[in-house]
Structure 1
Amino acid sequence: MNITQKPALLVVRCEDLWFSDGSMVLQADNTQYKVFHSILSLRSPIFRDMLSIPQGADLERVEGCPLVRLPDAERDVTPFLKAIYTPLSFPSYPNDVDVQTLLGCFALSHKYEVEDLRRRALAHIAQGIDLQPPEFTPKGCKWSEEADWMHIVRFARVARTTGDLWVLPWVFLCLSRGLDRELRVDELLQGVGEQGEVLPLSELPTLLGGRDLLKNADLEAAMAAFSTAPGRIDGCTGYVCLEMRLTLLKKLSESVREEELSSWVTVRAALTILREDQALGDELCARCCKVLLDAQEARLTKMWQDVPGFFGLPDWPELDAMREQAVGPNIYC
């Protein structure tokens, strides 16, 4: 019987991490790194313990140096080791970092207990996903602008592993929006992007259930924008404000008719209509517009407070406390 074997992967050197006087060789996937044992031991107690194990005579060697195979992916190991041996490759906030470098350092600084790199990674993450109510849009930075669905799924997996639950509202909000537009559930389970990132099956009920709760709250808050106030608002100076409110409700419905309801789409559309009307002053009187706008912003704030609970997470004060403890007082470290 003929058995077809997969060809062995060609081993390559990472030229940026191949030091001629290095004392050991690490390998991740098919990539090798010739580095210094002493520096790894100094930075990581996990490496220190792992490398203190006596070496047998039959240990694999490369250029006379012991070879240690790591179970981690090259995509994480390369930026992580670069951050250790060439620190400028992973600068502190507010310098820009790319998303793959951030993910690699986020994952492995926790696993190998390199505390300064972990805090640096968390500072970058905290600033990049700092959601700002009432618009609920994160601050722009290089890594968050680069992040695609594959990276966001990866953040979900790493944040669960590291226990950084405060990262997950951003993850779930992004994925909820994606499922309404670009993502499919089967993609999440079979692999997203060129690296085939898979959302853990245990996360799927949380994501789908939370997304449905979010969409329902979104629709309810938006539809209430023009209809829940009294028919006649105290101080109203217009003659047709109630009729105009019904017209604006129809306008809101039409503004979202061509796309599926998704996170914040309808509720923010209602705010946009009210703000534009307030600026133009051509439909509702100033008093009615202010009352409706204030009420809608209050609904949005309430909706924001409910977001963590939609996804089975602690409330915002607890998540904020987790973030502050994880990042520490100095975000520029």
Structure 2
Amino acid sequence: MSSSSPPESMIRSELWYRDGNIVLQAENTQFRVHWGVLAQHSSVFRDMEELPQPPDQPTIDGCPIVELSDGPKDVENLLKAMYIPAFYCQKKLPLPVIDAHIRLGRKYDCKYFFDLAVARLTAEFPAALEEFDAIHSGETSGGIEWKADFSLFHIIAVASNNNILSALPSAYYRVVQSSSLEKLFDGLERTDGTRASLDSTDLRRCVIGRQTLLHKQLQAGYTLGWTRKWEFSDCISPAACGTFRENILSFYLDEKFVHIGGLLPSTHFYKWNFCPTCANHITDSIVAGRKKIWDEMPEIFGLSPWSELKNDI
């Protein structure tokens, strides 16, 4: 093998171990690591190590250089998990780390990190209403660090591209709840000036699901059905409660400002000061209606029912 020095444009990562015996190169960044560590976590690298090396393969300090087609930050995120035992002990991991571990975990068969990343994603976007409520209310903290609305587009892409189907209904719901039709179609600007957007399949599901939710949430038996048809006769303050109900209905029928309220908790309406009997009826109606919406959520977005919505991973 011929030995070579890295070109001046090449960057040595902080993951550069002097006793390493393999150099991974991703674009203009090199990582000097160990075949043994790679092979321990990845069957692809384990098989690669056993392949005979061509005699003219370039090396650095006797270490063969293996060029990868992945981005350097993605490779760094995966290697840090391999080399830092406490990496997954962090309470929250940035979304790009989860993304990299899912994509590269699948590509290189790093099952351990792939499974951990998927577990964080499905915990953040769960298939159970109780878990969704706990995350949404802040009662429990998800394991992914993401802040801006454009991150939801990223999360949907990760789940959709990797067939993590159980995370899609709640992710779709959260994005249609926070995005206008204009934002869904045009995308959202990231902090670096690029735009995050949905692919055609996810966009179609979100647009159809959004319209279905707006119609369904006001139907009898669903979350806000009580605003259109009041079936209780024991109200002790008919004038005030009637006005409150009409105002809420007008709010959700306003064509200028579309509001998705299919999963709003009953506590959201406490500020209206309904009489005690009406408040109890409303709470019962919302609890039943939210469950009905949740049970139908996958189908609202054009997916299989919860009982058939399996992750193809």
TM-score range, shorter chain: 0.7 to 0.9
The structure, 1 or 2, with the larger RCO (C-alpha pairs under 8 Å, 6+ apart) is: 1
Q: 8 Å contact 1:267–1:300 — kept in the other structure?
A: yes
The answer for unaligned runs of 5 or more in structure 1 is 1-7, 327-333
Runs of at least 4 residues off by over 6 Å: none
Q: Which residue of 1 aligns with 2:302?
A: 312
Matched residue type, 1:166: S
The answer for unaligned runs of 5 or more in structure 2 is 1-6
Alpha carbons of 1:24 and 1:293: their partners in 2 closer, same or farther (altered >3 Å)?
Answer: same
Matched residue type, 2:70: D
Q: 8 Å contact 2:21–2:34 — kept in the other structure?
A: yes
Q: 8 Å contact 1:229–1:292 — kept in the other structure?
A: no
- Distance in 2 between residues matched to 1:183 and 1:22, nearest whole Å: 48
- Distance in 2 between residues matched to 1:215 and 1:13, nearest whole Å: 53
- Distance in 2 between residues matched to 1:76 and 1:262, nearest whole Å: 37
- The 5-angstrom pairing of residues 81-230 of structure 1 reads 81-91=79-89, 95-130=91-126, 132-133=129-130, 135=133, 137-138=135-136, 140-141=140-141, 143-180=143-180, 183-187=183-187, 192=190, 194=192, 197-220=196-219, 221=222, 224-230=225-231
Q: Which residue of 2 aligns with 1:11?
A: 10
Scaled by the length of structure 2, the TM-score of the pair is: 0.80
Q: Which residue of 1 aligns with 2:288?
A: 298
- Distance in 2 between residues matched to 1:129 and 1:184, nearest whole Å: 19
Tell me which moved more, 213-222 or 294-303: 213-222
Q: Shift of the alpha carbon at 1:254?
A: 5.9
Matched residue type, 1:299: G
Scaled by the length of structure 1, the TM-score of the pair is: 0.76
Matched residue type, 1:206: R
Q: 8 Å contact 1:153–1:199 — kept in the other structure?
A: yes
CA RMSD, 1 decimal = 3.3
State the number of aligned residues. 299
Alpha carbons of 1:91 and 1:289: their partners in 2 closer, same or farther (altered >3 Å)?
Answer: closer
Q: Which residue of 2 aligns with 1:331?
A: none
Helix, strand or coil for the counterpart of 2:216?
Answer: helix
Q: Deviations over 1:133-168 (max 9, x none)?
A: 585853553654524344333332332333221121
Alpha carbons of 1:11 and 1:170: their partners in 2 closer, same or farther (altered >3 Å)?
Answer: farther
- Distance in 2 between residues matched to 1:183 and 1:136, nearest whole Å: 27
Q: Which residue of 1 aligns with 2:4?
A: none
- Distance in 2 between residues matched to 1:304 and 1:317, nearest whole Å: 13
Helix, strand or coil for the counterpart of 1:229?
Answer: coil
The structure 1 residue matched to 2:70, chosen from 69, 72, 92, is 72
- Distance in 2 between residues matched to 1:58 and 1:196, nearest whole Å: 43
Helix, strand or coil for the counterpart of 2:230?
Answer: coil
Q: Shift of the alpha carbon at 1:219?
A: 4.3
- Distance in 1 between residues matched to 2:51 and 2:214, nearest whole Å: 54
